[in-house]
Amino acid sequence: MSDIKQTRLSGILLHPTSFPSPYGIGDLWKEAYAFIDFLEASGQHIWQTLPLTPTGFGDSPYQSFSAFAGQPLLVSPEHLLELGLLRVEDLDDCPAGSGDKVDYGYIIPWKTKILRMAAGRFEKVARTELRNEYHKFVSANLFWLQDYALYMSCKDHHDGKSWLDWEKGYRKPTASMKKRMKKQFAEELKYYYFVQFMFHKEWMALKAYANEKEVTIIGDIPLFVSLDSADVWANQGLFQLDSKGYPTSVAGVPPDYFCAEGQLWGNPLYDWKKHKKTGYKWWIARVRQQLKMCDVLRIDHFRGLESYWSVPAGEKTAINGTWVPGPREELFDAIEKELGKGLPIIAEDLGLITPEVHALREKLGFPGMKILQFAFEAEGESTYLPHQFTDINCVCYTGTHDNDTTRGWYESAKEYSRDKVRCYMNTDGGLISWDFIRACLGTVAKYAIFPLQDVLGVGSEGRMNTPGVSGEEIHNWAWRYKKEDLTEGLAKELARITRLYGR
């Protein structure tokens, strides 16, 4: 595995749902390994993903049912077939769709159906070695796995409703109630244990393969967790909730130049005083778990750990919020005490960031982020322009999952932005995404990362997410590439320019 702290590296941002697959959504089997081979052939040493946790509302990886569990939709049907847990005919009715978009409305019920088939056959047909591996996994992960499985079982029992709409005993279960629930949902628990076992088995094998190829994996966690999650349900005392479980204050960001009403995210806020009393036990467990899954961890909305925007529950906008101090370095002192010094963390420090946030990031030694698209959105100087980079301890991106693809951005940009790009990069804009990749590689930033969409020169149809916009016509989180897109010639050209810039 490459040492991300010492080496000048580059790599590709790609979520596993975007892998090719005949089963309607990317998974962690053959094409995932083919992508690692492409990274090796193209001279790339970083693979960055979005959060790998189970998606909830809107299929967003940033709104999850658990901060610890893995995404069931990524489990490979082909692998289950090889293990004898599925039959060929079980896969005949797969709603594969067009292949270039994930249709979650069709794929979720189908994937759930075949996972339940496989789970039902597991105890009967699985080899002893695999069953022993399963029992070891359950035992080692019970600290989060049991609450997650109980939560999902209860959610199924209540027709998918949020835990706030469950019957009273289930909403805030006592120890004795949880004991009864384990008996009530015994078969359901086995299903959720099995799915998590398969996800982790496949992911850890893929991670090992990537590390053998000297590819470092950067994972991602959102700062806040979803209200409709096992994390909040099982740890209600660690969040700002009333006696019935409803948030008293919620997360968001204040009004700014881009949004006059601010952004009201609605996530419950942490009760940091309670976390401190526990020695930040939940956060330590969360970071430890995610650093088993990846080599480096990006914390989304890092600024909220210095100070967060607290909006009273019930507000229609984020206007009437206030800044409240976060745990700051005290949290990371506690994590380092348990996990060791020099945490491999990247801080997402985009937006209107105060000097205090910069000071905290620098004190902790975490790399920040630079987005090249942002450099050309105004006519004058910008700290995102490569010649303004003063700190090599940063990650330079052409764009992220929340940006349009570079080609899409350029094609819809104002003329002064397009002219600024052409002058700055000495280009006619004909292969604009590769102009941005070269500029990204050529910065002093230690780490240069670009979405696969930019490597492929994809337009706006390849955009992964449009923040604040939902609906079927947008197709957030749905983009996929095709197997034939990753050509030998493409790998050779990317490897050539990567070597040119000393990556």
- Active site residue ranges: 300, 348, 402
Distance CA 331, CA 334 (A): 5
Residues 265/188, Cβ–Cβ less than 8 Å: no
Distance CA 475, CA 259 (A): 23
In the structure encoding, which two tokens stand for residue 97, read together? 């769709």
- Diameter of the chain by CA atoms? 70
Residues 148/196, Cβ–Cβ less than 8 Å: yes
CA distances from 43 to 37, 40, 296, 490, 497 (A): 10, 5, 19, 11, 9
Residue appearing with tokens 């039959």? 87
Residues 6+ apart with CB under 8 A from 336: 342, 343
Beta strand pairing call for 307-312 and 322-325: antiparallel
Residue 254, Ramachandran bin (φ over 0: left; ψ between -120 and 50: alpha; else beta): beta
| CA nearest to 164, candidates 246, 104, 73, 100 | 246
Distance CA 249, CA 267 (A): 9
* Phi/psi at 276 (5° precision): -60, -40
Distance CA 74, CA 115 (A): 11
CA distances from 126 to 16, 84, 119, 131, 149 (A): 26, 7, 10, 6, 21
In the structure encoding, which two tokens stand for residue 416, read together? 């002064």
| CA nearest to 399, candidates 427, 421, 369 | 369
